[in-house]
Structure 1
Amino acid sequence: MIRFNLLKRFGGVWIDSTVLLTQKIPNEVFNKRYYSIKNVPENFENVVDNRWAGNFVAGSKNFPLFAYFNDFFEEYWSKFDYLIDFFLIDYAFIIAYEKNIGGIKNVVDNLPYNNPDYNWLANHLEDSWTQEFQTRISNNKTFAYKLTRRKNINFDDKSNVFNNII
């Protein structure tokens, strides 16, 4: 995947286009060897459980995790021409985490919880827009919000949250 090749070679921040930034990205994101969105675990029935977000990843050039991902996906795409699962990035991450590749387990475990409302907005995109939404997304500890949860959004409804933030 191109994100990990770029991060391995140059460092920086990868943010998917489905992430809404409502505030300036804090300097801590740029000053860490590794950074990702991390929330309190909710015992989801998947491997991520809010420990990282593949759609918001930052870190320093040559961080071992980025080299691992780059090699993992180069190997995968050399053998397959289809994505076996949408969450393959997360399965690859759990392998790195459990094997502590490049010390990633310690890095992830020591990363403080951040962006507590990261997934909140995605669950309200079809709701009617109110001042309460404006206040919540602009005055809290979350600077990044995931926008989609693969939902069908009514783009014609100008009163919904989605159309008011875009």
Structure 2
Amino acid sequence: TRFILKYLVKNGLVKTHYQIKFRRRRDNNFKEINKFLPIIDSRVKEIITSYTGGKTELNECPVCNNIFLFWWDGFDTAPELVKACTETVYKYYPDCAIHLIDKNNYRKFTDIDNIILTDFEKGKISIQVFSDILRFNLLKNNGGIWIDSTIMFFNKMDLLKNLDNKPIESLEFSSTRYFMKYEKYNCSWSGYFFASRKGSLFVKVVDEVFREYYLKYKDYSTYFFIDMVLMMCKKYGLDDNALDNIHFADGDMMLMLRTLGDEYNKCYLSQYEAVPQKLEWRYEGKGKKNTNYCHYIQNGIQDRRSET
């Protein structure tokens, strides 16, 4: 394909070989869920269950007013959609310390194992998986909120406030609660919008799983590795069953992505406001006028009062 040829010219044969493997893994992700869930379970169970009975000491793990966004090549050259999403984070979280993480500064905030970093630089670990590794390491070391750079906000959802009596916080969406099921457990989290106290037991253990799994198996095995790890954290009740106590949001996080190309209609706004909207950075929206993309991405979020 054109993408692979372009990638080959830019990155060379070895990295392209790994990239093809990652794309095949992504394309087969839903087919592989039932195959890999018991495999990941057997491989990470010992690590997670070694912390059975433990829980975060809230008075020793502070709530930190940080937000972390990540774009490897830097936000100055990020796609239009990513820039528009980032602007909404600044708009709705003016009281937070917003950290724009990229290839030039991520080491300042992290202590990711050098073997993992070296293999990532060689192309052996995909950027998607590295992003998962990065978010939990950032939260372990710094505390705060991880927000994917392709999330658009239409109001503030204060995960930090919800950490008053919790080690972690995230959102459980009504539209995705059953996308992954294992034994009697089902998905109850959002990896793309995740908050933690600094050094909570939960993020420490997930960070350890990423490190020890890779050092032993030299690969993360499946596209949904992080979601499968979180499923095992739920199954084995990590950090006083922390994933059983996250915030429920009755809304569809993918609605905006499905309707970006539709003709602009302000009636969508109330549904967009229900939950943060997860978009796709490759979406360009070119060639059409007066669409939701034009209104919300190219022209920016309008003041709610102008919508009524």
Same fold (TM over 0.5): yes
Root mean square deviation, CA, Å: 2.8
Give structure 1 stretches of 5+ with no counterpart: none
Write the letter of the residue equivalent to 1:33: P
Conservation of the 8 A alpha-carbon contact between 2:175 and 2:252 = no
Paired residue type of 1:118: M
TM-score (norm 2): 0.45
Cα deviation, 1:71-91, whole Å, max 9, x if unaligned, reads: 111123335665532211100
Q: Which moved more, 1:63-72 or 1:24-33?
A: 24-33
Distance 1:115 1:43 in 2: 10
CA 1:127–1:152: 2 relative to 1, 3 Å: same
Deviations along 1:53-80, whole A, 9 cap, x unmatched? Answer: 1111001011111011111111233356
| 1:34 counterpart residue number | 168
The residue that corresponds to 2:267 in the other structure is 132
Q: Residues 57-72 of structure 1: matches in 2 within 5 Å?
A: 57-72=194-209
Distance across 1 between alignment mates of 2:286 and 2:187:
29
- For the 8 Å contact 2:167–2:202, the answer to whether it is kept is no
**Equivalent residue runs for 1:110-121 within 5 Å:** 110-114=245-249, 116-121=251-256
Identity score, percent? 23
Corresponding residue for residue 235 of structure 2: 98
Structure with the larger RCO, 1 or 2 (CA within 8 Å, 6+ apart):
1
Q: Which amino acid aligns with 1:92?
A: V
Which digits, 9 at most, give the CA deviation of each residue in 1:11-39, with x for residues without a partner? 10000011111113325345442111112
1:84 alignment partner in structure 2? 221
Amino acid at match of 2:202: L
Question: Where in structure 2 are there 5+ consecutive unaligned residues?
Answer: 1-132, 298-308
| Residues 1:145 and 2:280 aligned together | no
Which of the pair has more CA radius of gyration?
2
* Matching residue's letter, 2:144: G
Aligned to 1:19: 151
1:4 counterpart residue number: 136
Say which SS state the counterpart of residue 116 (structure 1) adopts. coil
TM-score, scaled to structure 1: 0.78
Contact 2:146–2:194 (8 Å) recurs in 1: yes
1:122 counterpart SS class: helix
Residues paired across the two proteins, number: 160
Give, as a single letter, the amino acid of the residue that structure 1 aligns with 2:174.
Answer: V
Shift of 1:52: 0.5
Q: Is the Cα contact below 8 Å between 1:19 and 1:147 reproduced in 2?
A: yes
- For residue 157 of structure 1, give the secondary structure of its aligned residue in structure 2: coil
